[in-house]
Amino acid sequence: MTGLQARLRADLLTARKARDTTATSVLRSTLSAISNAEALPVAEAALSAEGPIAGAASGVGATEAARRDLTDDDVRGIITDEQAERLSAAADLESHGAGEKAEQLRAEAELLAAYL
């Protein structure tokens, strides 16, 4: 876990204790995106049709998978993507007359800017 990930987790705990629903939602979403980026793609070999059930894993530790180690720069890139996604959605909502929801998304994007 990078220092930035640790900071995000600590801030999530603080937001939960403060019952800050916006910060909690944004931080959970961002940490989920980071976890997804750490996952390794399924190898073609694991999907072979060997055994009674195609693609089934068996044996000790068969359900455990290695995770990718991300750097702080990788995590910043994910945060930047999350921020850009919110700003893009806010612009779309604004053009369709949903100003209140657009403002909420802009506030979420601003919260993420503190980590860049």
For the chain, domains (ranges, CATH) are 3-39+65-113 (1.10.1510)
Residue 43: count of CB within 10 angstroms of its CB: 9
**pLDDT score at 59:** 59
Prediction pTM value: 0.79
Q: How far is it between the farthest Cα atoms of the chain? A: 56
8-state DSSP, 63: T
pLDDT digits (tens, 9 = 90+) for 24-36: 999 999 999 999 9
Paired residues of 67 in beta bridges: 39
Tokens 């987790």 correspond to 9
pLDDT digits (tens, 9 = 90+) for 59-114: 555 566 678 899 999 999 999 999 999 999 999 999 999 989 999 999 999 999 99
H or E stretch at 1: none
Paired tokens of 51: 């055994």
**pLDDT score at 54:** 55
Paired tokens of 93: 């909502």
